[in-house]
């Protein structure tokens, strides 16, 4: 073979998403399948977003606005930022790639947790950087250990708060103490994809104020979770104008499609949908907690729309058995699984099937 692939990708494996509903229907000859594997909003998305998509269908022959101008302006106005501090992307996945491409050189060290969003690791490896893996403590980010892991070669630190897949969080005080101690030449990426679901008062809800004091901080959010626009792939990043300007150099042209842009703008305006999504999630979380407690099942207290639990049964067995009965969850290794919080009916169905495993 005359051509060669970059050695950095030799040991990488493709990302494995949650199994699609249609695949499970075909494989098991089922007509009704519930997917609680990918942390999707069970209520769908805002009716205003659907209307905006419908109104934009006549323009599918045109390229999108390559700068996502209206979306940047809408986000900036909502959050009281300058549009130059905002950069939309094709989901958070693309932005993780963009950040790694913009900052990492071969040999740089990148600090991240051992159980967290897997794209942090793969993009670091792709760029020839060295991942420095810090174990979670009690299934929660250990920022003290991350601080101790910093060396002269550290270039980037990934923080996911609340964390995916464990659903756990660290407090505002812990975050501020950490940022005060991190050298200002190290970029800290603060990924808060699930921040809209948080209930605890000690969570750093007003994270945008970090941008004023810490110019080396990048904040990531998404429309895929509480806004329910996962299919359209649209997220956004906030940082200093200097960082955004340089990330924009790496971004591909027309990366956020037209339907995603108009839907996201409309979704931003529908506060009632967000409030209902929050309510349904909180109600579902309390129902599942009570069911797990009654069954003696350990779970990590979650500040997201998913729960990380220990079934004490091989996770692949749980995954396969539930899947055969029309319920898709996420195996996480060992005896741990992750389940998304659905509607009350979906949650009840999950618990009924889980109980069958112990019968």
Tens digit of each residue's pLDDT, the chain (359 residues): 578 888 888 888 887 777 789 999 999 999 999 999 999 999 999 999 999 999 999 999 999 999 999 999 999 999 999 999 999 999 999 999 999 999 999 999 999 999 999 999 999 999 999 999 999 999 999 999 999 999 999 999 999 999 999 999 999 999 999 999 999 999 999 999 999 999 999 999 999 999 999 999 999 999 999 999 999 999 999 999 999 999 999 999 999 999 999 999 999 999 999 999 999 999 999 999 999 999 999 999 999 999 999 999 999 999 999 999 999 999 999 999 999 999 999 999 999 999 999 87
Q: Where are the domains of the chain?
A: 16-44+272-357, 47-268
Task: Give the architecture (CATH level 2) of 16-44+272-357.
Answer: Alpha-Beta Complex (3.90)
The predicted pLDDT at position 31 comes to 94
SS3 sequence, the chain?
Answer: CCCCCCHHHCCCCCCCCCCCHHHHHHHHCCCCCEECCCCCCCCCCCHHHHHHHHHHHHHCCCCCCCCCHHHHHHHHHHHCCCHHHEEEECHHHHHHHHHHHHHCCCCCEEEEECCCCCHHHHHHHHCCCEEEEECCECCECCHHHHHHCCCCCEEEEEEECCCCCCCCCCCHHHHHHHHHHCCCCCEEEEECCCHHHCCCCCCCCCHHHHHHHCCCEEEEEECCCCCCCHHHCCEEEECCHHHHHHHHHHCCCCCCCHHHHHHHHHHHCCHHHHHHHHHHHHHHHHHHHHHHHHHCCEECCCCCCEEEEECCCCHHHHHHHHHHCCEECEEEECCEEEEECCCHHHHHHHHHHHHHHCC
The predicted pLDDT at position 1 comes to 56
Task: Give the architecture (CATH level 2) of 47-268.
Answer: 3-Layer(aba) Sandwich (3.40)
């Amino acid at each position: 073979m005359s051509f060669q692939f970059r050695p950095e990708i030799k040991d990488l494996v493709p990302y494995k998403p949650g199994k699609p509903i249609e695949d499970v229907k075909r494989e098991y000859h089922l007509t009704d399948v519930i997917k609680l594997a990918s942390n999707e909003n069970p209520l769908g998305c805002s009716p205003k977003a659907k209307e905006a998509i419908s109104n934009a269908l006549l323009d599918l022959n045109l390229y999108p606005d390559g700068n996502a101008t209206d979306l940047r302006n809408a986000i900036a106005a909502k959050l009281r930022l300058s549009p130059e501090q905002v950069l939309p992307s094709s989901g958070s996945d693309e932005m993780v790639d963009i950040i790694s491409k913009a900052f990492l050189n071969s040999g740089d060290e990148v600090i991240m947790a051992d159980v967290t969003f897997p794209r942090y690791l793969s993009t670091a490896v792709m760029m020839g950087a060295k991942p420095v893996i810090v174990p979670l403590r009690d299934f929660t980010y250990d920022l003290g250990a991350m601080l101790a892991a910093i060396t002269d070669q550290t270039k980037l630190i990934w923080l996911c708060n609340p964390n995916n897949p464990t659903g756990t969080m660290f407090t505002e005080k812990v975050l501020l103490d950490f940022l005060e101690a991190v050298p200002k030449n190290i970029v800290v990426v603060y990924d808060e994809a699930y921040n809209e679901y948080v209930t605890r008062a000690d969570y750093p809800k007003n994270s945008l104020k970090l941008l004023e004091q810490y110019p080396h901080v990048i904040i990531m959010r998404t429309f895929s979770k509480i806004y329910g626009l996962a299919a359209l792939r649209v997220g956004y990043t906030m940082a200093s104008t200097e960082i955004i300007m340089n990330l924009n150099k790496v971004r591909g042209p027309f990366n956020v499609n037209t339907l995603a842009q108009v839907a996201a703008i409309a979704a931003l305006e529908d506060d009632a949908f967000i409030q209902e999504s929050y309510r349904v999630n909180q109600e579902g979380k309390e129902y599942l907690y009570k069911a797990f407690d009654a069954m003696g099942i350990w779970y990590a207290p979650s500040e997201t729309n998913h729960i990380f639990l220990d079934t004490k049964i091989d996770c692949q067995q749980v995954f396969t058995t539930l899947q055969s009965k029309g319920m898709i969850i996420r195996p996480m290794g060992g005896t741990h699984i992750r389940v998304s919080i659905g509607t009350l009916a979906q949650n009840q169905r999950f618990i009924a099937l889980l109980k069958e495993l112990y019968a």
